[in-house]
Structure 1
Amino acid sequence: MTKTGTIYEAIGGFNVVDTLVTAFYQHVGNHPKLTPIFPDDLTETARKQRLFLTQLFGGPRWYTEDRGHPMMKRRHLPFEITPERRDAWLSCMDAALTESGIDEPYRSAIFEKLTMLAQHMMNTPD
């Protein structure tokens, strides 16, 4: 993705992923459209998200080592993910990307990748 390596390396590695995920779940934990499908305690959810994004961005394959193949669609089937919730999730991620200070072109590349993933996760109409 970059001249020097991965998005993970280009944005600053795990510390930036950690900052991104922390900011993201602060938004998720307060979003009325998302709180019904997330646990009250987001600690474990955020831990898994850190592992997943690290791997997705080209860093160490910690998610696979910890949880096996991502199978994200299957893992999200128990939750009603509507277009409205997809958009709410992306709104939270957009804000977190801004707050974490990820520069272009990486910010747009990350948001595009996560938009496609969020679209894929939908499993329920509004």
Structure 2
Amino acid sequence: MKQIPTLYTWAGGTEALEKLTTVFYEKVLKDDLLYPVFKNMSGDHSRHVAHFIGEVFGGPQQYTKGDGGSHASMVAHHLGKMLDDKKRKRWMELLLESADEIGLANDPEFRSALVGYLEWGSRIAVLNSVTTTNPINENEPMPKWGWGETGGPYLPE
């Protein structure tokens, strides 16, 4: 039986995720609906998000070790932002459009896992955006995301 790769490896690693978030945030800054939310993001924001996703997808601890972040610090970035479902759906649309544009892995199993994570994470961001109190304590581990119900990618014999 073949070893099932992590979502991080299947996506193409750090390089692919950094390319994804760079292209995505370029779109966000040109988007009338999302620009007001992200206009003050740091120059490192897209790289930090790529590292966060990479770590969640089973990659190295670049976000927690290299960027000095945590699950709680990522949640904190959304506090008080007053996000809504219209913004969440636009965020999803632009991110998936960016994934297609850069040629991110597009097999159904990977895209199912990716969309599942983005739906889960973006809905949590909306929930956390209407409060100023972080529901996650600093010691809570990073979320881990895998292949889910698909059981992994199709790996021919």
Identify the TM-score tier after normalising by the shorter chain: 0.7 to 0.9
Cα distance, 1:75 vs. partner? 2.5
Deviates more, 1:73-82 or 1:8-17: 73-82
Q: What is residue 15 of structure 1 aligned with on the other side?
A: 15
Q: What is residue 119 of structure 2 aligned with on the other side?
A: 115
Indicate which of 79, 82, 101 corresponds to 1:80: 82
Q: How does 1:69-108 map to 2 (within 5 A)?
A: 69-71=70-72, 72-101=74-103, 102-104=105-107, 105-108=109-112
In 2: Cα distance, 1:28 partner to 1:42 partner: 14
Count of aligned pairs: 123
Q: State the secondary structure of the residue aligned to 1:20.
A: helix
Cα distance, 1:11 vs. partner? 1.9
Q: State the secondary structure of the residue aligned to 2:31.
A: coil
Q: What is residue 69 of structure 2 aligned with on the other side?
A: 68
1:86/1:119 contact within 8 Å kept: yes
Q: What is residue 53 of structure 2 aligned with on the other side?
A: 53
Q: State the secondary structure of the residue aligned to 1:77.
A: coil
Q: How does 1:29-40 map to 2 (within 5 A)?
A: 29-39=29-39
Q: For 1:119, give the aligned amino acid.
A: R
TM-score by length of 1: 0.85
User: Which has more radius of gyration?
Assistant: 2
Cα distance, 1:30 vs. partner? 1.0
Cα distance, 1:3 vs. partner? 4.0
Structure 1: runs of 5 or more not aligned: none
Structure 2: runs of 5 or more not aligned: 131-157
More helix by share: 1
1:37/1:80 contact within 8 Å kept: no
TM-score by length of 2: 0.70
- The change in CA–CA distance for 1:82 and 1:19 in structure 2 (over 3 A counts) is same
Percent identity, aligned pairs only, is 27
Q: State the secondary structure of the residue aligned to 1:49.
A: helix
1:11-34 CA distance string (max 9 Å, x none): 221121122112211211111111
In 1: Cα distance, 2:3 partner to 2:68 partner: 30
